[in-house]
Amino acid sequence: MAENIGKIIEDAINKALKDRGEINILIAGKTGVGKSTLINAVFQGNFATTGQGKPVTKKTREIKKEGIPLKLFDTRGLELKEYKETFRELESFVKMKNEDSNPSNHIHMAWICVEESPKRIEDAEIELCSLLSNHMPVIGVITKAISDEGFRDKVQSHLIQAKNIVRVNSIPKKLDNGYIIQPSGLEELVELAMEIVPEGQKNAFAAAQRVSIKQKQNKSHAIVAASAVTAGGTAAVPIPFSDAVALVPIQVAMLAGITTVYGFELKKAFLSTLVSSTITGAGATLIGKTIVSNLLKMFPGIGSVAGGLIAASTASALTIAFGEAYIATLTYLIKNKDISEISEADILAEFKKRHSK
């Protein structure tokens, strides 16, 4: 196992990154509508400010930041008289992307941003919604939302192809009387986006967004549940000590998957340290339980089958406890700090403390 652990960790990292995938979102809106502020409020790492952008059409720019499984396509020029030409270029680009044989290269949804304060929706915004909805799900986002006065209903009546309309205030805003309006609508937007994004991109969206811990937890719980089923099936094989080795890659892959869904960078050195610290800490208890179950497998006939069943139950329970302790660790840390402020040492210390209980 010591000779193979390096390959096990490499395989786990590759699988986790493949399973997480990437998500591509098109964001459209007039200049000054608040797209950059919205993007930075929803996604990790000051994406719109520090992400590397490149033009893909005359009025559309691709934004990507290393370590975040997200590409944004920022479409501009809606306020221009020649916006129809912009739309023709955009539609050609979208068709090209969505005809790609690899679904990861498709544009998976669009957000059309409309500012609330003018209380006006433009023909360009209506036409864009109609155009994009032929190729992907569309969400209407009312930005700088402070006083609705029926504007949401008006937008909904015009952007009829949109899946829903969400009012969002991305940052605190201080009014003239000193009252501060707090951010709102961000979690609703993230939950709606999670509902409509393709299944293969849900983990990527959960990782890229910074608003909803619940979405990260939900996808991580699913990883733990799947790992527990696999661990139970592996341990149920009535061959002495067969699961002692086979469980390790399952549980390492589980840790890698959870790490990526929470949006942390996955490094081989970190995962190696995480695994080794677990084995030298509370791992003795896990190894002891596994050995007892495997010893029962050495009895022929019924004893062998019974031993397998006990091992399956133990392996599933231990995998669940292991995974849920890691989820609790990452949840606790990101509730108290921005992800950029959390070090690998913080994760290791908190996980070791929780896993040893």
Cα(139)–Cα(108) distance, rounded to whole angstroms? 12
Q: Which of 165, 190, 208 lies at the terminal end of a domain, its last residue?
A: 208
For the cut 70, the answer to whether the pLDDT of residue 323 exceeds it is yes
Phi/psi for 55 (5° steps) reads: -70, 135
Q: Which residues contact 102 (CB under 8 A, 6 or more apart)?
A: none
Question: Model confidence at 245, in pLDDT bands (50, 70, 90)?
Answer: low
- Identify which has the larger pLDDT, 166 or 268: 166
Contacts 24+ apart (CB under 8 A), 157-161: 158/121, 158/125, 158/126, 158/129, 159/112, 159/121, 159/125, 159/126, 159/129, 160/129, 161/129, 161/130, 161/133
- Identify which has the larger pLDDT, 4 or 131: 131
Of these ranges, 78-87, 138-147, 176-185, 291-300, the one predicted with the greatest mean pLDDT is: 138-147
Q: From start to end of the chain, where are the E strands?
A: 23-29, 52-55, 60-64, 70-75, 109-115, 138-143, 164-167, 173-174, 180-181
Note the pTM of the prediction, 2 decimals: 0.86
Taking residues 182-201, what's their average pLDDT?
A: 96
Q: What is the pLDDT of residue 296?
A: 45
Q: Which two structure tokens, joined as six digits, stand for 194?
A: 């999670």
- My answer on whether 219 and 160 are in the same domain is no
For the cut 60, the answer to whether the pLDDT of residue 280 exceeds it is no
In a domain, 255, yes or no: yes
Cα(312)–Cα(319) distance, rounded to whole angstroms? 10
Query: Which residues make beta-bridge pairs with 111?
Result: 27, 139
**What percent of the chain clears pLDDT 90, i.e. is strictly above it?**
56
pLDDT tens-place string over residues 16-64? 999 999 999 999 999 889 999 999 999 998 877 765 678 888 889 999 9
Q: What is the pLDDT of residue 309?
A: 52
Taking residues 8-22, what's their average pLDDT?
A: 92
- My answer on whether 251 and 317 are in the same domain is yes
Cα(160)–Cα(154) distance, rounded to whole angstroms? 10
For the cut 90, the answer to whether the pLDDT of residue 254 exceeds it is yes
CATH of the domain at 48: 3.40.50.300
pLDDT tens-place string over residues 292-314? 444 444 445 545 545 445 567 77
Phi/psi for 140 (5° steps) reads: -90, 125
- My answer on whether 216 and 321 are in the same domain is yes
CA-based end-to-end distance of the chain: 26
Q: Which of 162, 192, 208 lies at the terminal end of a domain, its last residue?
A: 208
Rounded CA Rg of the chain: 24
CB 244 within 8 A of CB 294: yes
For the cut 60, the answer to whether the pLDDT of residue 187 exceeds it is yes
Domain that holds residue 69: 21-208
- My answer on whether 170 and 87 are in the same domain is yes
Q: Which of 138-147, 223-232, 268-277 has the lowest mean pLDDT?
A: 268-277
Q: Which of 191, 208, 225 lies at the terminal end of a domain, its last residue?
A: 208
Question: Model confidence at 352, in pLDDT bands (50, 70, 90)?
Answer: confident
Cα(242)–Cα(225) distance, rounded to whole angstroms? 21
Cα(292)–Cα(47) distance, rounded to whole angstroms? 50
In a domain, 86, yes or no: yes
- My answer on whether 218 and 160 are in the same domain is no
In a domain, 12, yes or no: no
**What percent of the chain clears pLDDT 70, i.e. is strictly above it?**
85
Taking residues 171-188, what's their average pLDDT?
A: 87
Side-chain half-sphere CA neighbours of 93 within 13 A: 20
Cα(133)–Cα(123) distance, rounded to whole angstroms? 16
Do the strands 109-115 and 70-75 form a parallel or antiparallel pair, or are they unpaired?
unpaired
- My answer on whether 267 and 202 are in the same domain is no
Q: What is the pLDDT of residue 250?
A: 87
Question: Model confidence at 178, in pLDDT bands (50, 70, 90)?
Answer: confident
CA nearest neighbour of 48 among 71, 16, 24: 71
In a domain, 7, yes or no: no
CB 174 within 8 A of CB 180: yes
Q: Which of 157-161, 202-206, 272-276 has the lowest mean pLDDT?
A: 272-276
pLDDT tens-place string over residues 59-102? 899 999 888 999 999 998 788 778 888 899 999 999 999 999 99
In a domain, 16, yes or no: no
* Burial zone of 333 (CB within 10 Å; 0-12 exposed, 13-18 middle, 19+ buried): buried
